[in-house]
Amino acid sequence: MVDGSEPLPMTRILLVDDEPALLEAVGYSLRRDGYDVSVAASGPAALAAARAVRPDLVVLDVMLPGIDGLQVCRALRSESTVPILLLSARGEEIDRVVGLELGADDYLSKPFAMRELLARVRAMLRRSRMITHQVPNPASNGRSPAVESSSSDPSAPTVSAHNISIDPARRLATLAGRPLTLKPKEFDLLHHLLRHPGIVLSRDALLRRVWGYDYPVDTRTVDVHVRWLRQKIEDEPSRPRRIETVRGFGYRFVPDPDHVPH
């Protein structure tokens, strides 16, 4: 290498689908992007491959022979924190929601544009590396980083608002002094909202800053995570007083406990 440093190991991706044409097309695109790709065409084969190659990311279809993708997702999450991108056929919203509940980090509906899949893969890997301190903040050319990185910065200060406190160094969130059990993306989203109290944040902006997407994707990802957060931090999730919806635009964290959203 030019700077004399050791080359980074190639990123390993496990691609799981029972459609040979999809395995071929997506595998080709991922390899062209520089990834080391392993493939599996069934649930049992996916689990065996994940345990053997220890991938950096798993692209996982829901409909699989042997063991379906949701069961594979559950098993993988019980064993590791590997990022999981779930693929589901259009219209199977319940699979997407259940998959996220079981530990998938994101979902993509079939059919999908290859460009979007590659963008999501890059964003998920970038976020994973930042959280585990494997690579530095990716700001470059004077531009702001695509991903909000303070959640993994040990020097980042604790932020508090509306009886919620977040300690990013310890990845600890509390509500009225009681610990909150949050998924990684829930934690990151809540942290970002608390750091910008009273500011209306668009769904696209949240996707860029929290998920790291620099390409327009399905903003329902944000809506799903906001809904889950409300179930954990709102007294009445159907009448939220902390995370307010700004219709047609996005969300705002309301720091004033006496504020009643209209």
CA-only gyration radius of the chain, Å: 19
- Between CA 169 and CA 159 the distance in angstroms is 11
Q: Using an 8 Å Cβ cutoff, are 173 and 187 in contact? A: yes
Say whether 39 sits in a helix, a strand or coil. Answer: strand
Instruction: Delimit the domains of the chain by residue range.
Output: 12-131, 151-253
User: Where residue 102 falls among pLDDT bands split at 50, 70, 90?
Assistant: confident
The whole-model pTM stands at: 0.60
- d(CA 166, CA 186) in angstroms, rounded, equals 12
Average pLDDT over residues 44-55: 95
> Which of 65-74, 75-84, 148-157 bottoms out in mean pLDDT, i.e. has the lowest?
148-157
**30 to 36, 58, 104: CA distances (angstroms):** 8, 12, 20
User: 12-131 — its CATH code?
Assistant: 3.40.50.2300
pLDDT at 171 over 70: yes
**Res 95: pLDDT:** 67
Confidence of residue 242 (pLDDT cuts 50, 70, 90): very high
In the block, tokens 């604790």 appear at 158
pLDDT of residue 137: 39
Mean pLDDT of 101-125: 87
Q: Note the pLDDT of residue 215.
A: 56
- Tell me what pLDDT residue 210 has: 85
Helices (H) and strands (E) in the chain, counts: 8, 12
Instruction: Tell me the pLDDT of the chain averaged across its residues.
Output: 81
Sign of CA dihedral 77, 79, 81, 84: negative
Would you place residue 101 in the very low, low, confident or very high pLDDT band (cuts 50, 70, 90)?
confident
Residue 212 pLDDT: 74
**Residue 236 DSSP label:** S
| Percent of the chain whose predicted confidence (pLDDT) is above 70 | 78
Percent of the chain with pLDDT over 90: 47
> Has domain 151-253 been given CATH number 3.40.50.150?
no
DSSP tag of 209: I
